[in-house]
């Protein structure tokens, strides 16, 4: 009998892992390596995939997505590289300060929202800062199939150039580094000019950089479908608001520093999610009643859907007023 695959729990299945290594790379970035607790092999993943790491921080359960940056061909280890955000919501600080080698954690099965288009004649990667991580896995994947790629990587300073040493050593002719503090900038217009037909561009970095690459490629006549980007949004703090969950018959208050999704979960209500960063669409929720103003921040719903007030993405979006959801 065939049936639609049933998801066991929101966010997909988790894998019990043990932290096999914690490797500080520079002042801000540390690599965490995981192995399966049962000593077995991890499920395969493709370059650009991420995993959602569960952090038990006292009563708080943090779930943060990180790009897998290890070689997809190595099924013994998953690795992520985490940049410490001192002003962030605490997930990266937890990883940096509390997670030690030998710790047991839970991470989600890999999900890929930023995959290579393997029909491409050539791949150009544009990375900014910690945005290098998905490209580490993509490059490893392409190297095995003799793929045609080049990387343009902007870093703040030489000392913060995460993986610059490894990349430059292994692929001296394909990797190009630009340091902000030396006034070096990616010559984007020149790079977009003259690429063979069927080249795909990929950008991962700060929002400004992503917008810049999309706009420049569009202006140069590149098809939108051949410019790929990934930006995980973080839930932004905001004013406290109240939400009634119709199906579960609960009324919850979303605190200043938590997301709507986190508040729903805190109330013990199961809500679907995957990326927790406004990109995948899994947590899309129907609005029953809205008295106030939406603060939509996701990349999933289009402008018309945002304006309609009928849907909200609780992982990153908020509300000013009182909201009633079909959850």
The structure tokens 């929101």 sit at: 10
* Per rule CB under 8 A, count of chain residues that contact another protein: 20
SS3 111: strand
Q: Find the shortest distance in angstroms from Cβ 118 to another protein.
A: 12
195 contacts another protein (rule: CB under 8 A): yes
Specify whether the CB–CB gap between 52 and 11 falls below 8 A: yes
Nearer to another protein, 77 or 199 (CB): 199
Q: Applying CB under 8 A, does 120 fall inside the site for another protein?
A: yes
Task: Produce one character per residue of 268-294: b if its CB has 16 or more CB atoms within 10 Å, e if not.
Answer: ebebbbbbbbbbbebbbbebeebeeeb
CA distance 286 to 299: 17
User: What contacts 99, CB < 8 A, 6 or more positions away?
Assistant: 19, 22, 32, 55, 105
Least distance from C-beta 193 to another protein, angstroms? 7
Task: State the nearest-atom distance from the C-beta of 288 to another protein, in Å.
Answer: 32
Minimum CB–partner distance for residue 140 and another protein (Å): 24
How many other CB atoms sit within 10 Å of the CB of residue 210? 20
Residues 215-274 that bind another protein (CB under 8 A): 218-226
- Which residues touch 26 (CB under 8 Å, ≥6 apart)? 159, 160, 161, 162
With CB under 8 A as the contact rule, which of the stretches 153-161, 192-200, 256-264, 316-324 interacts with another protein?
192-200
Q: Is 192 in the site for another protein (CB under 8 A)?
A: yes
Is residue 77 part of the contact set for another protein (CB under 8 A)?
A: no
320 binds another protein (CB under 8 A): no
Both structure tokens of 119 = 């029909």
Contacts (CB under 8 A) with another protein, residues 13-42: none
Question: Using CA atoms, how far apart are residues 35 and 50, in angstroms rounded to an integer?
Answer: 16
Stretch that binds another protein, among 50-58, 72-80, 213-221, 273-281 (CB under 8 A): 213-221
193 lies in the site for another protein, by CB under 8 A? yes
Query: DSSP assignment of 137-174, as one string?
Result: HHHHHHHHTT--EEEEEEESSGGG-TTHHHHHHH-TTT
Name which of 182 and 218 has its Cβ closer to another protein: 218
Taking contact as CB under 8 A, which single stretch among the options 32-40, 43-51, 70-78, 113-121 is the one that binds another protein? Answer: 113-121
> Which residues lie near another protein (CB under 8 A)?
119-121, 192-199, 218-226
């Amino acid at each position: 009998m065939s049936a639609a695959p049933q998801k066991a729990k929101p966010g997909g299945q988790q894998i019990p892992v043990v932290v096999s290594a914690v490797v500080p790379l520079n002042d801000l970035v540390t690599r965490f390596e995981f192995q399966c607790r049962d000593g077995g092999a991890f499920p395969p993943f493709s370059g650009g995939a991420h995993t959602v790491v569960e952090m038990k921080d006292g009563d708080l359960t943090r779930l943060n997505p990180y790009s897998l940056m290890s070689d997809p061909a190595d099924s013994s280890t998953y690795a992520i590289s985490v940049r410490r955000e001192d002003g962030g919501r605490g997930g990266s600080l937890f990883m940096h300060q509390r997670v030690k080698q030998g710790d047991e954690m839970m991470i989600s099965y890999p999900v890929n929202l930023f995959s290579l288009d393997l029909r491409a004649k050539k791949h150009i990667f544009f990375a900014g800062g910690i945005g290098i991580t998905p490209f580490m896995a993509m490059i490893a994947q392409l190297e095995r199939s003799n793929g045609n790629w080049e990387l343009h990587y902007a870093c703040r300073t030489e000392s913060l150039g995460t993986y610059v040493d490894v990349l430059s050593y292994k692929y001296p002719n394909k990797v190009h580094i630009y340091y902000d503090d030396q006034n070096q900038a990616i010559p984007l217009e020149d790079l977009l000019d003259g690429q063979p037909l069927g080249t795909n561009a990929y950008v991962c970095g700060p929002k400004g950089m992503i917008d810049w690459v999309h706009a420049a490629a569009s202006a140069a006549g590149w098809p939108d479908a051949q410019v790929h980007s990934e930006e995980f949004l973080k839930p932004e703090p905001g004013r406290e608001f109240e939400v009634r969950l119709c199906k579960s018959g609960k009324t919850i208050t979303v605190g200043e520093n938590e997301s709507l999704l986190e508040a729903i979960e805190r109330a013990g209500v199961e809500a679907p999610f995957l990326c927790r960063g406004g990109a995948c669409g899994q947590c899309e929720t129907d609005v029953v009643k809205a008295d106030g103003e939406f603060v939509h921040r996701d990349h999933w719903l289009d402008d018309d859907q945002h304006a309609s007030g009928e849907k909200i993405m609780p992982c990153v979006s908020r509300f000013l007023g009182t909201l009633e959801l079909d959850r």
